[in-house]
Amino acid sequence: MTDHRPVARRLSRRAGAVGSVLARYGRRGTGMLRRTPFPRPTVRGWTVLAVGLGLVGGGLVASMGVAVSAGLLLVVLVVLGVVAALAVAAPLRASRQAPRVVVQVGEVYRGRVTVRGSGVRFAPRSTLLVREQLDDLFVSTAEAAALVTIGPATPPAVLDVEALAIRRGRGLVGPATVRVEDAFGLLRIDRPVVAAEEVVVVPGSTPMSGLDAGALAGAVSADEGRVGQGGSADDSELRPYRPGDPIRRVHWGQSAKRGVLHVRQTTQAQPPEAVVALDVRREAYQQLGRDDLAELADLGGDQAFEHAVVVAASVARALAARTSRVVLVTDGPGGDVRHNGDAGGLSEVLVGLADVHVRSDARHVTEVLHGVRGRDVHGMTAVVTGHCTAEQAAELVSATNGSSRGVLATVTAPDPVVRGILDRAGWRVVVVPVPGTTTDGHRR
């Protein structure tokens, strides 16, 4: 008598494997359909559907089999279009490659969207419209849409996106969408294939030759530490010269005695730090002495404030080249002092400048600077504002008496009294006027 149990077990295992594969593909297909919007009829599709239903209804009323058959054929054509559109749109996969998520105003954001279709051998070959949406912080330098062809024997479709950053802030690039239509143009699916991505646009720079040549002439570069900033040669030890060492660090006296070049190597180096304080009060940027047309176009002071943000970014970049850490301080909406750059990176300061906004209820920068005390900032304090009075200048000097140097960067020239107060305290004044303002403009 033959034992059929081993054969039954093999058949059971094979049936279980087939069922597992079908269940897996079923779940995958269900997930694809769930992520895919249902097709929407085009104008042509609505017309065909309406004509088909009308023929079916009219044929049933008039007992005309030809009309009913023609109407059913049109309805079936629409149904087949739904199936064909879903078969193309559901398996679509896409990705975005962007080298940077932080760009500067005036720079070009570049990204690439790659779209892949179904890998099934008998999948249909289709032409799709791929589109990337851009925030109003950007202006596209090339068409952010393209017709691409996908199919089992075609390489992945690529859409290269280039957009010029025109305003600072946080914007979105995307989502990337794909438009799928059936062969007859009856139905359409607009499916998002790549989620939106946040891109931070940081402010650009403005020429500040006065700041570079004068105000920072005595600042210490980060590799020099305290030597040259009140330190002495006793604070350092000597070591033989190595190629690449700065010539300014050569100790000529000891080199002459020893017959070999020696350089100072700092033993207790503590590179200087800097604070950039931005005034976010709206009243500081209104009526700055520009011509009447400029004043009327900028009653709220927004243009002047945006220029001050650019000045603050320029100051931060200049200080970051000479100090070990730059911190941005502003008045927060809740009355707290906002700090950006505590980790020591210039990029954090620039990202912080991308987020600041001018406010009517903001505190004066002198009150904000009190929140910097006790934070071990011992290098330089740079204050960026639109206008400074004599009282405010005196408060600035008293609020930063622990700092070694001070710079006031203003968008309108201060009064001689203000200059005198700051000059006696060792501060430097840099005037970077708003376009439409002269350096000798006055506050009205």
- Comparing 38-42, 316-320, 332-336, 365-369, the range with the smallest average pLDDT is 332-336
Average pLDDT, the chain: 76
In this structure, CATH architecture of domain 273-431: 3-Layer(aba) Sandwich (3.40)
Of residues 109 and 374, more confidence is placed in: 109
Of residues 336 and 441, more confidence is placed in: 336
- In Å, how far are 61, 87, 111, 149 from 127, measured between CA atoms? 41, 13, 22, 4
pLDDT above 60 for 406 = yes
Which SS3 state, helix, strand or coil, does residue 301 take? coil
Q: CA nearest 377: which of 426, 346, 341?
A: 341
Q: Report phi then psi at 77, rounded to 5.
A: -60, -40
Cβ-contact 301, 443 below 8 angstroms: no
CATH of domain 93-202: 2.60.40.10
Cβ-contact 334, 368 below 8 angstroms: no
Burial degree of 254 (CB within 10 A; 0-12, 13-18, 19+) = middle
Rounded mean pLDDT, 415-439: 78
pLDDT above 60 for 170 = yes
Quick one: residue 426, left, alpha or beta (phi over 0 = left, psi -120 to 50 = alpha)?
left
Confidence of residue 272 (pLDDT cuts 50, 70, 90): low
Q: How much is the pLDDT for 89?
A: 82
**Which of 31-45, 81-95, 331-345 ranks highest by mean pLDDT?**
81-95
pLDDT above 90 for 203 = yes
Cβ-contact 55, 71 below 8 angstroms: yes
Rounded mean pLDDT, 414-437: 80
Task: Give CA angle at 375 (397, 209), nearest 5°.
Answer: 55
Confidence of residue 231 (pLDDT cuts 50, 70, 90): very low
Q: Report phi then psi at 75, rounded to 5.
A: -65, -45
- Comparing 107-111, 124-128, 213-217, 295-299, the range with the smallest average pLDDT is 213-217
Rounded mean pLDDT, 167-189: 88
pLDDT above 60 for 107 = yes
Burial degree of 110 (CB within 10 A; 0-12, 13-18, 19+) = middle
CA distance linking residue 383 with residue 51, whole number of Å: 73
CA distance linking residue 130 with residue 149, whole number of Å: 10
CA distance linking residue 127 with residue 125, whole number of Å: 7
pTM reported for the whole predicted model: 0.71
**Which of 161-170, 414-423, 434-443 ranks highest by mean pLDDT?**
161-170
pLDDT above 60 for 271 = no
Query: What are the tokens at 189?
Result: 């699916």
CA distance linking residue 239 with residue 237, whole number of Å: 7
Confidence of residue 202 (pLDDT cuts 50, 70, 90): very high
Asked whether this chain's domains 93-202 and 273-431 adopt the same fold, the reply is: no
pLDDT above 90 for 241 = no
Strand partners, 337: 331
Confidence of residue 224 (pLDDT cuts 50, 70, 90): very low
Strands 405-410 and 427-431: parallel
pLDDT above 60 for 437 = no
Q: How much is the pLDDT for 412?
A: 81
Q: How much is the pLDDT for 414?
A: 84
Domain boundaries, the chain: 1-31, 93-202, 223-266, 273-431
CB < 8 Å & 24+ apart, contacts of 68-77: 74/48, 74/49, 75/49, 77/48, 77/52, 77/184, 77/186
pLDDT above 90 for 393 = no
- Comparing 66-80, 121-135, 140-154, 429-443, the range with the smallest average pLDDT is 429-443
